[in-house]
Structure formats: structure tokens, C-alpha cells
Amino acid sequence: MSTYQNTTSRLSILQAAFVIARRDFTAILFSKAFFFFLIGPLFFMLISVGAGFIGAAAADSKSDPTLAVAMSAQDSTRFAQTHESLAEYVRLPDVTVIGEERDRSPEALLADTDSNFAAVLTGTLEAPELSGTEDRIDRWQGEVALIASTAMGEADSYPSVKLTPTDTSMADTRNVNAATATASITLMFLLTMLLAGMVLSNLVEEKGNKIIEILAAAIPMDAVFLGKLFAMLAISFVGIAVWGSIAGTILFLGAEALPEMAPPAVGWPLFVALFLIYFAMAYLLIGSIFLAVGSMAPTVRDVQTISMPATMLQLAVFFLATFAMNDLGSPIELFAVSFPLSSPYAMLGRAAQEAALWPHLVALAWQVLWVGIFVKAGATLFRKKVMKSGPRGAKTGKRRSFLSFRRKDKSQIETHY
């Protein structure tokens, strides 16, 4: 028992965790298996890009842009009534009549964050003027002329619609931001699902070769848990750095062929920083669950069966966050933000669509709290399960605690770590 006491007296839990993390990080980083591990996920990057485009198309179909009608009260009423009657036979854009109490200028309406206006109709029925992005007003020019002509009772004569192009509209901005949110959530999910499995495989491997028994006899299990969790997080950031460098090089070489990307609501620098922070939070949360799962698996072949609920939980969290980001402020979105496991994904989607920063400070504090709870609960379960998994005694038949290992076994910690 003196060896254990001397070891714990020399190192605090954080110091012991750092020793474990440093050893695991170095051992994995310079292994041949890690090199091949870095190559495989490049294929997942292609999948994430495809999923982002699919999600953008889905977001565009769910959020129909609207035509704001800001003509005189009489002309606006006639236009809206004619639109309603023609919409039964012809596919027309949705319209919203703007009252006199609002700022009816095209600039203000197109920049309104509470609406989804893609174009603004001003002027008169005889001389309508359509303001919006160039592709949008070109697409709606014929529909506006048809409605205006029908409203005036001149079915054979169509008024000339004056087009006033603008740089952007809130509808286009929302569609682009929704695509960015979907792509980023998908990428973070794939990275988390891919990299979190390393925690489980590393733990099961060391349980199989009895290294975990030496660690349990020499230092507190909380330190072992924390060390392995943060070592795998550091390895994950190495992988992200490598894959990000490759992707950045490809994008840089093909920059001229790519369309200009609109920035997310918080801007690219802050969005990238939030992506890394929320990835760390999501990884620590699911990693602590995987470590707890690993402690309950008696053999390697039992790991896949026991880890299945945790994998299904990851999928459920991903679908929840992806669905919730299409309706910010709704009850389902607020639930996704509040639920610990989905909070990093939901808040990343919000960062792409809203510029407010204070919700991220609150969410990060909430997530850090739950990381502490999950790590402590997982370490407690890990300690109880591992400390009871030793060989049975010859006389009593009870499982022998790792703390009863011989001193020469305990001293092996210095050899391995």
C-alpha cells in the first residue's frame, strides 16, 4: 500500500491525468495505425460536402421566399386579391402586403431579419417596379406583369415591369446561412462520430493487456479517465489540423472555380473558433459516455453490442439539431439548445444564422457544467467497474481489488508512463 500512497502523494489528480494524457498522446501520434487512420476520413469529407448541398436544397425548399407589395393601399389590395384568384391555377410567389405603419422602402424591407422578403414591388399597377437580387426579379418579372395586367382588367396587355437589382436580400442570406449551418453540423457530427471511437478502442485494448490494472493500482481512476479523454481530444485536433490543411489547400488551388461564399452570421473567424470549441464540448460529452461504456464491456467482442445505444444516441442528437436549426426560437430548437448532447450542434447552427454572441457564452457555460457532470459520473462508474474486474481470489471467490496488486506490479506504471 505504501507504493500507492507515495505515488498519489507526489501527483495530484490533474498532474496524474497529464501524465496519462501525455503518454497516450505520444504513443498514438507516432504509431503506424494513426497514419492510416488519417487517410481514411478524407472520404468522409466528400460525404459531408455532399450532405451540405443536400441540406441546403432541403432548407431552400422549406423556406419559400416572399414578394413584399408596397404600392398604394388601393393598388396593393387589388394586386393581392388578383394574386389569390390566380394562385388557384398558376404557381405564383407568396406575397405580403406592407402596411403604411412600416418603412416601405425596398432597402429596409429586403434587410428585415424578421421576414423572408426576396423582392419588393413598388410603383403602380400601370408601372410596377420590382426590386431585389437580379436572378430573383428576372424570375418573378413575368408573374408580376400577369397579376398587374389581370388586376387592371387588361388581359391582352401587360405592363412593363421596371427592374431594380440589389446586391442581396434577406431571403437569399437566410438560404446561404442555412446551408452553412447544415454543412457545419454534418461535418462536426462526422468528426465526432469518427474520432470518439478512439477513446473506446484505446480503453478496451488496455483492459485486454492488463495495463489498465497497473494504472488503477498506481493512481486515482479519475486521473486515468481524464487523461485518456483529453489525450484523445488532443489527437482529434491533430487529425482535424491535418484534414483541414488538405481541404484548405484544395480550396485554395481551386478558388477561382468556386463561387463566392457568403459569410455566416457571426463571420468566418469567429465561426471557425466556435466550431472548434463546440466540437471539443461534443467530443468530451460523448467521449465520457464511451469511456463509461468501455468500463462495462467485459471483453472486446462485447464492446460493439454495448456501444450501440451510444451510437444511436449520436444519430438522434444529429437529427434533432438538423431539424431544429430550420426554425430558430421554436420550442424544438430551444430544447435542442438546452439538451446537453445536442447543445453544441444546435448552437453551431445558430452561429451560422444569428449574429448575437451572448447566447454562445451562456451555452458554453452550460455545456462546461455538463462536461464536468458527465466526466465525474463516467469516472465514478469507470472506477467501480474496473476495480471489480480483477481475478477471483482462491479461497473467497470474490474479485480481487487492483489496489491489492503486488508492489512490483504497481511500480510498472513508471515503465509504461
Residue 398: exposure state from Cβ atoms within 10 A (0-12, 13-18, ≥19):
exposed
**Banded model confidence at residue 243, pLDDT cuts 50, 70, 90:** confident
Inter-residue contact 278 to 344 (CB < 8 Å): yes
Rg over alpha carbons for the chain, rounded to the nearest Å, is 29
pLDDT digits (tens, 9 = 90+) for 253-310: 766 655 566 678 888 899 999 999 999 999 999 888 887 777 676 666 666 677 777 7
Spans of all domains in the chain: 2-59+174-416, 66-168
Cα separation, 145 vs 128, in Å, equals 8
In this model, does residue 316 exceed pLDDT 50?
yes
Neighbours of 142 (CB within 10 A): 11
Q: Is residue 5 over pLDDT 50?
A: no
Could you give the CA distance from residue 381 to residue 231 in angstroms, rounded to a whole number? 20
Query: In the numeric block, which cell numbers belong to residue 26?
Result: 505520444
Q: Choose between 229 and 6: higher pLDDT.
A: 229
- Give dist(CA 330, CA 393) in Å, integer: 58
Q: Which of 229, 199, 233 is nearest to 379 (CA)?
A: 229
User: Residue 170: what pLDDT?
Assistant: 55
Residue 28: count of CB within 10 angstroms of its CB: 18
Query: Contact, 336 vs 321, CB < 8 A?
Result: yes
* Range 66-168: architecture per CATH: 3-Layer(aba) Sandwich (3.40)
pTM above 0.95, yes or no: no
Distance in angstroms (rounded) separating the CA atoms of residues 34 and 221: 26
pLDDT bracket for residue 391 (50, 70, 90): very low
10 Å CB burial of residue 279 (0-12, 13-18, 19+) is buried
Name residue 132's beta-bridge partners.
119, 165
What is the spatial distance between Cα 148 and Cα 124, in angstroms, rounded to a whole number?
9
More confident residue, 121 or 174: 121
Q: Which three cell numbers stand for residue 102?
A: 412600416
